[in-house]
Amino acid sequence: MPFEVVDLFCGVGGLTCGMKQAGFNVVAGFDNDKTCEYAYSFNNQTNFICRNIREVEARDIDNCYSEGADKILVGCAPCQPFSTMSYKRFKSSSRELDGKYDLLKEFGRLIKGVSPSIVSMENVPEIRNSGVFEDFIKTLQDEGYYTDGGQVVYCPDYGIPQNRHRFILLASKYGEIHLLPPTHKRKDVTVRPFIEKLPPISAGETCQSDRLHRTATLSPINLRRIQASVPGGTWKDWPEELRCKCHKKDTGQTYTSVYGRMSWDKIGPTMTTQFFCYGTGRYGHPEQDRALSLREGALLQTFPQDYEFFPPEEQEYSMRDVARHIGNAVPVRLGEIIGESISRHINDMR
């Protein structure tokens, strides 16, 4: 039987793109954010279904698969609710947090209804501490899936140049399934090969040959700050008059990566939805006096260089919206590793 994939919470298609690179036929992606549709459908040539997952029924997903296809269901429920910061805000109990953010529960509901042969769930490591995750594991076990409980991966171990940890769970009705072991040595994974060859641009400028290679403007004082920054350094390298008020307080002493420059030959920071803002992390370009461009953020998320995030006829676009799409995406390379792990499992079962 042919294997077909449906991607839940698909966003602009990082996981789908990676699964396709691993050789799988992704037949549909579900997401409730209409602004993701162009990027998802155009780049992956896959049907985008704009629906709130709470309103999706198993039959809606079943209708996406071909008759007789062996079904794979993958997804990454929005992970901000399970971040460390969210848990600090909801200290009374994890159940309070689980009640507010129950999208993983919806994922489990759809697994029960669709009964795919193989499931993949990707999220932040903190999700393991939640009650909804415990319920999710129980759902898988009750439905006859084998799972090793998942594992936390460090992205550079798989060739992704970000100081980023993710949690990946695989489950199968065929038997044991595990993620591939690391494919790279950490010391060999650096920022340089991903963004070094892009044309140089200044703060607030857009590259003529690539409209996504665009950077945010810098205020006069932030321009002076980045000019005083060194790769891998901190704001402590600046003259006293350039330091922020918060940095002069005891509580600000530990935030050394804020307003930092990246280093060419080191791993980069996690690409968040704010990576285009110089003051939100170590998002200064290694040598140019500006923050990362949107294209650079996409490349560090391992999207192909020709991946398009908005229609060519769209004369104006929101940097904030595109950065949100890029930062929220599953790194494409991680999607490919998930796909290759599933492919190896299928071959082992034959």
Which amino acid appears at position 6 of this protein? V
**What are 127's two structure tokens?**
């999700």
Question: How remote is the C-alpha of 127 from its chain's centroid?
Answer: 15
> 2 near 66, Cβ under 8 Å?
yes
Residue 249 tokens, joined: 């307080």
Tell me if residue 273 falls in helix, strand or coil.
coil
How far out from the chain centre does Cα 198 lie?
22
Task: Of 69, 7, 8, 13, give the one whose Cα is nearest residue 325.
Answer: 13
- The three-state secondary structure class of 70 is strand
Which 3 state secondary structure label does DSSP give 32?
coil
Q: How far apart are alpha carbons 14 and 166 in whole angstroms?
A: 14
Task: Give the list of residues 6+ apart from residue 169 with CB closer than 8 angstroms, or none.
Answer: 119, 120, 121, 122, 147, 149, 150, 151
- In the residue annotation, 76 being an active-site residue is answered as no
Instruction: Please answer whether residues 243 and 228 qualify as being in contact, where contact means their C-beta atoms are separated by less than 8 angstroms.
Output: no
Closest CA to 74 of 151, 139, 169, 1: 169
| Residue in 10, 36, 64, 79 annotated catalytic | 79
- The maximal CA–CA distance of the chain, rounded, in angstroms, is 68
- Alpha carbon dihedral 110, 112, 117, 122, in 10-degree steps, equals 50
Residues known to be catalytic: 79
